[in-house]
Amino acid sequence: MNSCPPEIHAQIFSLACTDDGFTGRSLSHVSRYVRQASAPFQWQSLVISGARKTKKFAELLDELSSRNPDPCDHISTLFPRPITHLFVSNRMPEDARERRYNEMGATRDMAERRKIALAFDEEADSWAAAIRRIFSYAAGTVRTLTMMCYDIHVSPNGRLFFSDLKRYFFPMLEELTIRGGFDTRLRDYDGASHHDDDDDDAARVEASAPTLPSLRRLHLISPISFDLFLLRLRPLAPGISHVRLSELLPFDYDMTRQLYSELAARALVPPRLPGLRDCMWSAEPVARPVDWVAFLPQETVLAQLVLQPSQLPREPDRMCGCCTGYYRVDDMTRLLKEMAREAFSDQYVFLPAGKRRGLGYAFEEGMADWRSRAIGGKGCWKERGEVDIDFVQEPEEHDQAVWSAPLRSSKSILRNWTMS
């Protein structure tokens, strides 16, 4: 150990600290020298899950930033420790699911319901405050960021706002994955005026300066307002080349029809899909002229679009297929699959639905993809030739009520589609 130059030690520590942060914490307890030499790499790759742990880490950042530098303490001179790959969640892995509406629906006592709602709001509020503190620290160095959030989006106090992506400058962020967490209308927290008019909203975001200039890969997972997010993020991240939308829900069907039109306008898919004739609940989709503000990246920039529908709700029984969303998810899945079958380019990739109803793209899946990308793997980015589009995954049941509560606002900034 003593004969090995510090530069070699630095390389070893850099390669070792690619897990969830456990190796970095262990190295800090080996010896004073190892603690000092490994300090720049201890937070290189971090997993922070659970509201309590997130809050504790934010408090640690406050403690370190307020510590008076001691000339005898060489560790303090190495602060800050850069964070390169960051995975955050407001829930622990074993508890990573939507719980708020299920727990509130389990009792008829209104006082108890209010108590449950308040507890979830307080959890969301503390997590959002802590994550903003972490953003302020890590924004300058983070390259891969995954956020797996549960119930946050329905909390009136603790949700994140779109201004959180504009408030911090992420010069090195290359890959961003988000599940939930944000205000469903993607409003700004700074009190700016908000309008429902599409043109006003589009004009307002065009004035925003890029805060994610290096972002190339964006993965959004329901529950999140896909169309709003893509539209508002475009001026902040003009270089996005890879987009994946996972767990498309019933009220995303109109958006997928517009995506179809945008892809057809770029000659990536045909304008008509005869294979869908007479086999859909709704009218056969036909590509329309794109007279709305396109939310896909520019044609010269887009390299890959990956779309994955959610699992079909249970087949209509006591409730009709309209109420359960069965018809719309079924039609959407058929449309996305036929687009892939007839596509002229490998830029469009269709992924069959995942295993679980209600959970969909789950915590462990997000964690595995984040780990893969952190070490240079493919992660969630499947190639067209790797996917069997006709594969039907039998759903794994889950104790979560499926389609029983609104996951996010169904209101869209995009025009209503005229079925024909």
Residues ≥6 apart with Cβ < 8 Å to 199: none
Place of tokens 């970095």: 24
Residue 202 dihedral angles phi and psi, to the nearest 5°: -65, -40
240-270 residue pLDDT tens = 999 999 999 998 999 999 999 999 999 999 9
190: buried, middle or exposed (CB in 10 Å: 19+, 13-18, 0-12)? exposed
- Summarize the confidence of residues 154-164 as an average pLDDT: 84
Confidence (pLDDT) at 304: 97
Percentage of the chain beyond pLDDT 90 is 51
H or E stretch covering 31: none
Q: What is the pLDDT of residue 325?
A: 80
Between the alpha carbon of residue 260 and those of residues 318, 339, 348, the distances in Å are 33, 8, 10
Which pLDDT score, from 0 to 100, does residue 375 have? 87
Task: Report the pLDDT averaged over residues 288-306.
Answer: 94
Are the C-beta atoms of residues 282 and 223 closer than 8 Å to each other?
Answer: no
pLDDT at 12: 56
> Can you tell me the distance from the alpha carbon of 295 to that of 403, in angstroms, rounded to the nearest whole number?
27
- Residue 32 in this model has a pLDDT that exceeds 70: no
Nearest alpha-carbon partner for 44 in 74, 11, 76, 77: 11
For residue 285, pLDDT beyond 70 = yes
Per-residue pLDDT reduced to its tens digit, 318-341:
556 666 788 899 999 999 999 999
Question: What was the pLDDT predicted at 336?
Answer: 96
Question: How many other C-beta atoms can be found within 10 angstroms of the C-beta atom of residue 211?
Answer: 19
Looking at every residue in the chain, the average pLDDT score rounds to 80
Residue 351: its H or E element: none
Q: In the structure, what pLDDT confidence band is assigned to residue 120 with cuts at 50, 70 and 90?
A: very high
pLDDT value at residue 409 = 41
Cβ proximity of 255 and 229 under 8 Å = no
Count of H-run helices and E-run strands, the chain: 13, 8
Instruction: Say which residue, 408 or 8, is predicted with more confidence.
Output: 8
CB-based contact 355:396 (threshold 8 Å): yes
The residue assigned the tokens 């640690």 is 60
Q: What is the DSSP string of 116-160?
A: HHHHHHHHHHHHHHHHHHHHHHHTTT--EEEEE-SSGGG-TTT-B
393 pLDDT exceeds 80? Answer: no
Nearest to 362 by CA among 98, 123, 186, 102: 98
Q: What percent of the chain has pLDDT over 70?
A: 73
Is the pLDDT at 146 greater than 70, yes or no?
yes
Identify the band that residue 125 occupies on the pLDDT scale cut at 50, 70 and 90: very high
* pLDDT number for residue 321: 61
Which DSSP state fits 40?
G
